[in-house]
Chain A
Amino acid sequence: MIVQKTLTIKNQLGLHARSAAMIVRALEGCRSQVSLERDGVRVDARSLLDILTLGCPKDSRIVVRADGEDAREAVESIERLVDSRFGEDA
């Protein structure tokens, strides 16, 4: 099963070390292949370094794509983090 969703980064500081780390951690228990894509560059969502290299500031749009039996859960877990602004205040 392939699930794909476009998300907008809403937290003030974008995908920085802490938020990227939260994504990697959220995917720890899941079995699907998960990728993030921005402006045509696609990286593995389980690599903190690669997520950082996307350089996603606030308001950037990313495409989350998961392939596997728990693809839906994987995408939803990332969506929840993005929607909650990774726990940031502003």
Chain B
Amino acid sequence: MNPADSRRTVILQGMGVSPGIAIGTAYLVRRIDAPISRYQIQDRSLLAEEIRRFRKAIKDSETQLLEIKRKFKDQEGLETLYILDVHIMILRDKMLIRQTIQNIEDKGVNAEWALRMTLDKYRDVFSKVDDEYLRERVSDVEYAGQRILRNLAGVHHESISGIGENAIVIARDLSPADTMQMKVERIQGFATDMGGKTSHTAIVARAYEIPAVVGLEKVTTEVRTGDVVIIDGTAGAVIVNPDPEIIRRYEEKKRHYETIEDSLLRNARKPAVTLDRHRVLIGANIEFTEEIASAVHHGADGIGLYRTEFIYINRDRLPTEEEHFCAYKKVVESKGIRWATIRTFDLGGDKFMSDPRLAAEMNPVMGLRAIRFCLREVDLFKVQLRAILRASAYGRTKVLFPMISGMEELLETKRIFNEVKKELKRDGIPYGKDVKVGIMMEVPSAALIAGDLAREVDFFSIGTNDLIQYTLAIDRVNERVSYLYEPLHPAVLKLIRQIVEAGHSAGIEVAMCGEMAGEPAYTMVLLGLGIDELSMNALVIPRVKKIIRAVTMKECRKLADQVMSFNSASEIEFFVRDAMRKRFKDDFETAD
């Protein structure tokens, strides 16, 4: 092949949802949502053959799904199996079958086209349904429909379970049925057109620590099976057909990443103690129970933030108390962690769909969400609290209430919490005797009255993401103002210092669980401000611990004091990065 034949290099930007670098050969998981050809079948005697073909494709699809279900019965959560059941039922659906056969007979078209017509009709009907959740179920119809189309095209032998070593899986989107069929541990990386942080691909990739980038929009049209692809899950980039020079650079980057990882990991389980014997607690932020093993592996002392939202979303109905309980019990009784901080529901009421008036808010981050929603839907809130308390009988549990903005909210929340305790006691259901109650410090009003709030709780946890966006009046997702999102803004630092001082005067611990806590460049400043516990993405724990173990509190306090003397965010950012580069040459060698 001469050089002119080699395909051009393409760089795609998406959202990195699982960090690390992968270099490998692309494997394109085909989806037949490309246009389907229409054939008019003139000879009516051949229509029977089309119908037979269609029925066989359904039978094959059903056999495949049953096979997947059988294989994974013991491994996956019940929820995933239930989705497979729904897909099987859609395949068997008499209306779907009848409609398609009728299309073949009446219109004299091929089975693929006839099925596409049926699927389009359902898509149309679903799009008119008022209920948003129900509207989205059209994706299940599509998943099932595409499986039949794949079987009609005879590509079902292209089993994804046969994906070789070093493969990088490229797909529009991956369904649970897809990933269940893969030997995921052999896959090097994932890149998908669709998806976000909580998409199925992202969850699987993080659980297996495989680099992944999602939301690339057109990776499936840019990549062919066999192309060389680089996935940078940290930067959210995908490079297709890189030239040898780029490959060399990324191989180096990858090696670097891994050797740092290796040497850091060896020390990750050591405690985060400064040279002058000050102990800092290190927590991991998790969303799924599958992440606990990785948290322990990377050196977390405890679970500093268990976000419970995923229990509610991506499902058809409200979780039962048992489902909550199973998840919480799994977290609190995990081996290797000393405590688990469980944060109660922190989303908008629109996730429930029970009340359509909640669905459309102009400014959802400041709307009826988190504790505000829970205080209005007390029955729903109590289900979660009961489950948390029941789980607390199995391990050290802290409960964390999000978005508290004033004293009334806190007192009302505590009243409900104590009521649930009383109910459990009355019913003779065991719960932990020493469940610590804490609040997120993320609304500036709460930070300003931290002294009063501190007397009512056992701990604070500073949620920097929201604290920054509320204090600086920036919508983080609005790209036009995101440059103003400055964690080291003097106003933010003053609030943090004030929260820590208020907490310490009342004798309670102050944790931090926002993204700031996991930024190694800020570690010394945060220690200097007096934070007792830092909770972060598990993968950065080794780097943060390395810094803590190499510094003294004395120098951290000095740095924090210096930082507080500046009056602009950019100055502080520059000063801190510069100081960290000088202090840790190897870890901060490149300017950001």
Contacts and interface: CB of A to CB of B under 8 A. Distances in A.
Contacts of B320: 88-89
Interface string A49-90: 110110101100000000000000000000000000010111
A43 to B, nearest CB: 8
Contact of A57 (B125, B130, B141): B130
Contacts of B317: 11-13, 16, 18-19, 86, 88
Contacts of B42: none
Contact of A13 (B82, B85, B141, B354): B354
A89 B82 CA distance: 18
B587 interface: no
B95 A52 contact: no
A52 B137 contact: yes
A52 B126 contact: yes
Contacts of B353: 13
A37 interface: no
Given A89-B321, A89-B383, A53 B354 contact: no
A44 B126 CA distance: 17
Nearest to B383: A89
Contacts of B96: 47, 49
Given A13-B353, A13-B354, A89-B318, A50 B383 contact: no
B380 interface: yes
Interface residues of A, number: 26
A51 to B, nearest CB: 10
B354 A17 contact: no
A37 to B, nearest CB: 15
Contacts, number: 77
Nearest to A85: B317
B134 A58 contact: no
Interface centre among A16, A44, A46, A49 (most CB of B within 10 A): A49
A88 B316 CA distance: 11
Nearest to A13: B317
B95 A55 contact: no
Contacts of B82: 18
A46 to B, nearest CB: 6
A17 B318 contact: no
B350 to A, nearest CB: 14
A49 B141 contact: yes
B178 interface: no
Contact of B318 (A13, A19, A50, A57): A13
Interface residues of B, number: 31
Contacts of B133: 13, 16
A16 B316 contact: yes
Task: Please classify the interface of chain B as helix (H, G, I), strand (E, B), loop, or mixed, using the class held by over half of its residues.
Answer: helix
B5 interface: no
Contact of B316 (A18, A50, A90): A18
Interface centre among B86, B96, B122 (most CB of A within 10 A): B86
B125 A47 contact: no
Contacts of A53: 122, 125-126, 129
A72 B89 CA distance: 25
Nearest to A90: B318
Contact of B86 (A11, A12, A21, A88): A21
A11 B354 CA distance: 10
A90 B90 CA distance: 27
B140 interface: yes
Given A13-B133, A89-B320, 20 more contacts: A12-B352, A13-B316, A14-B131, A16-B134, A16-B317, A24-B89, A46-B94, A47-B94, A47-B95, A48-B89, A49-B96, A49-B141, A50-B95, A52-B137, A53-B122, A53-B129, A55-B134, A86-B317, A88-B318, A89-B318
The 3 A-B residue pairs whose C-beta atoms are closest, nearest first, are A55-B129, A47-B95, A16-B316
22 contacts: A13-B133, A13-B316, A16-B317, A18-B316, A18-B317, A21-B89, A24-B89, A43-B95, A44-B95, A46-B94, A47-B95, A48-B89, A48-B93, A49-B96, A49-B122, A50-B93, A52-B137, A55-B130, A55-B134, A57-B130, A86-B317, A90-B318
